A and B are shown apart, each in its own frame.
Chain A
């Protein structure tokens, strides 16, 4: 059992984007603050600090979660991935460039001020690994956990669907957001659900 006194400075070690890192914090330090202030990983943004806005979303052991509702001590000896590591596979040529998901965001103008983007990218990265070919309704349900005040979401949805389409071998721009019933577009029944949602 691990116990930490409230005033005790503790050294937390974790794997951040594939690298062993550690820093000192208090038991009450939020993971979002630990990443930014103690590890200098400022790609993760902090918005509401009560789980509503989604800006601070990171992956913990691969799973997209809110860093503001997680304590730094809770990720001790675990793997945390942030936007800085989205394209970190140094064995791949072009590892210093954008990942396919980021590239789709750029191509579709799926961001403007960029404050929400880091969190959204981390959610999408986890989600597309679990559900490789989601429909628009499913993407919108997943994105409901993020607030974006610039884009109106349409281009974010397009970017996610386009990434999924490309990964499934369909040409970019061939399927997303078609206004007719069918696989990738929104059918009449789903349209009703979207309106109600």
Chain B
């Protein structure tokens, strides 16, 4: 199918983009990589009146290591991040997650900020952002605000972003020498949406386990340094708290089993890693 007709605007700066967004109102959509939005438009699940294309805005096209975070601008593609030679040292969790994110050809065009703004509950980039305690920079005509990942994701495709705000930048915290990271996912076929994906961060003061694909948004749980049956019990409690539902991809029961299995696997794999 083909998209319904829309007006198209291609701003040349982030400032132009946010002032356009403020003028156009709720019927406008930001187009970056379009790897979710264009499919939705082709299927006519959305019919915006204006598309604001930020994919060629030079001041939004960056991936930079600022010493604390890997900061990714709204026009930078997932491929721009994935093919960084330093990524496995900078943000090892992301390096592990990328092969699970759709396909090479989609990552070549899809943006990191777009995936965060779209907030699909089974998407890997929001999950990794939540697990690492990252931040989202929102910009409107009135200025910027920085929102923690924990506050940003609010439900199925729902975020803290207001209608006149652009997801200008996403900040993934850099690896810490005292933390270990592991990512695990189960999907029907390679590159499909995750039935369940988990990200584990093992730190000296405890374990953080984030789960995607089960609840209406990625969810994070802190555990102490548990092991054995205590850890299994804690993961099981978490699996039940996620409110898994039956759908045509998997039953709730199977999803809870995946949380238990992948959660345990990820934590053990993270613990087994050598210190850097």
Chain A 3-24 interface residues, beta-carbon cutoff 8 Å to B: 3-7
The answer to whether B191 touches A73, judged by C-beta atoms less than 8 angstroms apart, is no
Most buried by A among B1, B9, B190: B190
Min CB–CB distance A46 → chain B (angstroms): 11
In angstroms, Cα B51 to Cα A30, docked, is 14
Which secondary structure dominates chain A's binding surface?
mixed
Given A1-B10, A3-B9, A28-B5, residue A145 in contact with residue B104 (CB < 8 A): yes
Query: Per a CB cutoff under 8 Å, which of B4, B9, B191 touches A28?
Result: B4
In angstroms, Cα B55 to Cα A99, docked, is 32
With a cutoff of 8 Å between Cβ atoms, the chain B residues found around residue A60 in the complex are 109
Q: B39 interface residue, CB < 8 Å from A?
A: yes
CB-nearest residue of chain B to A140:
B190
In angstroms, Cα B7 to Cα A26, docked, is 10
Which secondary structure dominates chain B's binding surface?
loop
Q: A186 interface residue, CB < 8 Å from B?
A: no
With a cutoff of 8 Å between Cβ atoms, the chain A residues found around residue B42 in the complex are 30, 49-50, 68-69
* A-B pairs, 10 with minimum CB distance: A145-B103, A50-B39, A27-B8, A69-B38, A6-B5, A197-B190, A65-B109, A2-B10, A145-B105, A3-B9
Contacts A/B (CB < 8 Å), 19 sampled: A1-B10, A1-B16, A3-B7, A7-B5, A28-B2, A30-B3, A50-B39, A51-B106, A54-B103, A63-B108, A63-B109, A64-B104, A64-B105, A66-B109, A73-B8, A74-B53, A140-B190, A144-B103, A145-B104
Binding site for B on A (CB under 8 A): 1-7, 26-28, 30, 33, 49-51, 54, 57, 60, 63-66, 68-71, 73-74, 123, 126-127, 130, 140-142, 144-146, 197
